[in-house]
Structure 1
Amino acid sequence: MSKPACKKLLYVDDARYMHRVLKLSLPENYAIECVDNGLSALEIMQQQRFDIIISDINMPNMTGLELLSKIRQLPNYKKTPVLLMSAEENPDYRQQGKKLGADGFIIKPFKPDLIEQCLTTLLNKNSDA
C-alpha cells in the first residue's frame, strides 16, 4: 500500500505553542511550516508553494483577515484553501472571512480529528476544481 502524497501546509499563529499542538495533531503526510506573523507568511509564500494555509485571526501587526486579503491577491494562491482559526466564536469573523475568500473556520481549542477532517475535505474539493 502506497503512502499518501505529502501535502504542504503553512500555519500562521503568533501563539508559538499552537505550532506544536498542530504538528502533533496531524498525521505525517502533512509537511507543516509554521510562522508567527502575517509578514513572515507572505515572505515564505514567495519562496515555497503550499497546498493549504491555516491562519489564526487575532495576531499583532497583521490580522488573519488582513493576511487572507493579501493571500487572495497573489496569483499562485487565489484558489489555495485557507482555513481561519480563532479562540473567539465571533460571527463577524466568519462573515468577514467568507467575504474575503476563507474556505473554513475553526474554533480553538480544536479537536485533532476535526481539523484533519476539515483539511482533507478542503484538499479534496480543491483537487476536484
Structure 2
Amino acid sequence: MTRILAVDDSNSIREMVVFILKDAGFDVDEAQDGQQALQSAQKTQYDLILSDVNMPNMGGIELVQQLRQLSSYRFTPILMITTESTKEKKLEGKKAGATGWIVKPFQPEHLVATVKRVID
C-alpha cells in the first residue's frame, strides 16, 4: 500500500487531505510542520509527501531541501499544496526539488488524480 505523509499547519486542511486520501485507499500519516515531517520521514519511508509551503518552525520549501539531501528521499515525489500560486514561488519550489504544485482550494478528485499520476 502506498504510504503518504500529509504536512500542513492547518488542522482542517490536513484532516481533509488525510480523509480524501484514506478514502481513496492510501495509507496516510500527518505532520503539522516541516520539522515534525522531517523527523517522521527519517523514521518511516514514504512513497509520497504532500506539504504546505507556509508553516511555522520549518516551511515546505526548506522541508523539500532537507528531504532531498537524504538518499532515501532523493527521488520520492513531493507535492506542494498551498495558496501560493506565483511563478516565483513555484520556481523556488522546483529549484528545491518539489515534484509538483497544487493550489488551494482544490477538488478532491484533482488531488487523488495528481497523487496517482506521480506515484505510478
One of 65, 68, 71 as aligned partner of 1:72: 68
Q: Partner residue of 1:95?
A: 91
- Structure 1 segments (4+ residues) deviating >2 Å: none
The percentage of aligned residue pairs carrying the same residue is 34
2:37 corresponds to which letter in structure 1? Answer: A
Matched, 1:17 2:12: yes
Q: Give the partner amino acid of 2:6.
A: Y
Aligned partner of 1:73: which letter?
Answer: Q
| TM-score of the aligned structures, taking structure 2 as reference length | 0.94
* Structure 1: runs of 5 or more not aligned: 1-5, 125-129
Tell me how far apart the structure 1 counterparts of residues 24 and 90 of structure 2 sit (CA, whole Å): 29
Q: Which residues of structure 2 form unaligned runs of 5+?
A: none
One-letter code of the match for 1:23?
Answer: V
Q: 1:7 aligns with which of 2, 8, 14?
A: 2
The residue aligned with 1:56 is: 52
- The residue that corresponds to 2:79 in the other structure is 83
1:71 CA displacement: 0.5
CA contact 2:18–2:30 (8 Å) conserved in 1: no
Q: Cα RMSD (Å) of the superposition?
A: 1.1
